[in-house]
Amino acid sequence: MNQDNNSNHKQDPKNNRSPRLIVTVIFVALLITLGFNMLFESLTTARQEEISYNEFQQMLEKNEIEEVTFEGDHLNILTKEESKKAAGARTVYYTGVISNYVMNDLVEQLQTKEVKYQSIVAQQESPIVTFIVSWVLPMVLMFGLLMLLYRMMAKRMGGMGGIGGIGQSKAKVYMEKETGVTFADVAGQDEAKESLVEIIDFLHNPQKYAAIGAKLPKGALLVGSPGTGKTLLAKAVAGEAHVPFFSISGSDFVEMFVGVGASRVRDLFQQAAKVAPAIIFIDEIDAIGRSRDSKMGGNDEREQTLNQLLSEIDGFDSSKGVVILAATNRPEILDKALLRAGRFDRRIIVDRPNLEGRYQTLRVHTRNIKLAEDVDLHKIAQATAGAVGADLANLVNEAALRAVRLGRHAVNQQDLLTSFEVVIAGTEKKGTVLTDIEKRIVAYHEIGHALVAALKKHTMPVSKVTIIPHTSGALGYTMHMPEEEKYISTKEELLVELETLLGGRAAEQVVFGAQTTGASNDIQRATELARQMVTQYGMSEKIGLMALASVENEYLGGNAYMDCAQSTAAEADKEVHALLEQCYKAAKQLLQEHRALLDEVSLYLLQRETITGDELMAYIDADQNHKAQDE
């Protein structure tokens, strides 16, 4: 079996694609030659129309004939009117057999009318010569022209080799000093780095593992949400190991021509084997690694590419130091054969960074940024819960741009906080002018959110409330600042979160007795949370501990789909509605009990347009002290 595999790998991929390409070129040349022959014949050959001999005599008497040609057993007649036209647009008339005695009289008539006449003697041409001149020679010329064009395209595409170079690998090769990335440039992914350190150690000291009989895993699959740093981690592995790094995207294997993807896979592994030890990194491997099925038929280009990838992974010897890394954010759709032991043995989760991870990531991204003395990266990390590395890099860059716009030479804390607000809510819309009643509704709406969050337990503290419109479409927003990193939530905490989301609509109803469109996003978020509590978290008293929904594309923030009977789904809808009504009534009652505080803080917000969490808590503390004195 090993000998067969090795012999297959030694085959030149050009031997497989050259005959197919030559046949394609010959077929194209044949079609072009046929088209040229038909076009040439239509442009150079005049149309012919048969007339009677009497009609010919009448045309002769009227001096309408320019030329007569005697050809075998018939006459070709060209009129003076048709002679003025181009050769391909003319109509040549012809008439039938003429006897010899009539022919003599006809010649005299033509001479009398001064009509040109001539006789054409049919020449017997060889059919072989005609075929060669009309077909073979044009095809050879066209074939040579097409081959010349293919070679010119190959050189223009970078000299990738082969006829046209379309089967050559498009992998970008980064040598030892060209990656410029090490583990020092990757922060917030300590667990993922620990999983990759062993691969680096094997590339440095393979004999240590060979002595005990251990084998290096052939492949490692990096799985995580977009922006978490999967590609950066792969480059860091190559940078730490000081080995060649072949980087290619999964979509680069898929082409219009059949067999090109498989050829590129073979070429990629051959290049890596020549410079081993080396690392092959395939980004977005789900482009070619999607699970195979027979719904749309098999044996297509993508499946051929996947089959070739599987055979190449099985064919190379990991002891030579060739390691395959791949990245995806859709692991659930990958083919099972790709994930089995012996291929991608390890699955490394590149998750969203925690509080400490975000702090370390911010330190990495601010190494080359001039920071003011008031910058506290711990607070920025605390405010950016759920952000990935790409988000934090964008946040730091936006802060630097803001500092430049304002004419400062260093980034301060306010720049970082403002850039965070720009990322979540957009920039301020200074040209939007609200009417007085609209500003009052927005102010009460936002204070409704803030008061419910501040007066209830198990909530995140409010850090800022504003009624300045932003480009995200929000006319105002309430920002919360988590005090600590949380990974689980209780039912009581989720109920309070629902009350906070519905506090804006409750404030509108308490103060104005009206319902506005401003609560649409709040209602959508509250409905989604309530549905998760009922269908995924098992927090419904009637339905109980039963999962009714499953989440697709977990790392892409996919939506849940119901996986239950229609009657059960209808019961779940009733539970979601009851849960929302319960929390809405609780928020409404709380605001009614603190109506004076609601009015006071809303009036202050109308005057200032933006208040901080400390200012809000000062009003709440004063209100509670006042009530305590009254009692």
Residues with Cβ within 8 Å of 296's Cβ and at least 6 positions away in sequence, in order, are: none
Residues with Cβ within 8 Å of 324's Cβ and at least 6 positions away in sequence, in order, are: 218, 219, 220, 279, 280, 281, 282, 313, 344
Nearest in space to 48 (alpha carbons), one of 26, 84, 77, 5: 77
Residue 111 CA to its chain's centroid (Å): 81
Burial 36-68 (b: 16+ CB within 10 A, else e): eeeeeeeeeebeeeeeeeeebeebbeeeebebb
**Residue 423: its H or E element:** helix 413-425
41 is an active site residue? no
Q: At CB < 8 A and 24+ separation, what contacts does 406-414 make?
A: 409/370, 410/370, 410/371, 410/372, 411/366, 411/369, 411/370, 411/371, 411/372, 411/375, 412/371, 412/372, 412/374, 412/375, 413/372, 413/374, 413/375, 413/376, 413/379, 413/380
What distance in Å separates the CA atoms of residue 82 and residue 48, rounded to the nearest whole number? 12
Residue with tokens 């003025």: 84
* Catalytic member of 301, 398, 421, 446: 446
For residues 377 and 187, the answer to whether their CB atoms sit within 8 Å is no
Q: Which two tokens stand for residue 391?
A: 């988000």
The one-letter amino acid at 598 = L
Q: Which two tokens stand for residue 192?
A: 């993922």
What distance in Å separates the CA atoms of residue 514 and residue 549, rounded to the nearest whole number? 35
For residues 332 and 373, the answer to whether their CB atoms sit within 8 Å is no
DSSP state of 391: H
How are beta strands 47-50 and 91-95 bridged, if at all?
Answer: parallel
What distance in Å separates the CA atoms of residue 535 and residue 11, rounded to the nearest whole number? 56
Q: In what order do the strands lie in the sheet with 278-283?
A: 172-174, 245-249, 278-283, 322-328, 219-223, 344-349
What distance in Å separates the CA atoms of residue 314 and residue 293, rounded to the nearest whole number? 22
Q: Catalytic residues, which ones?
A: 446
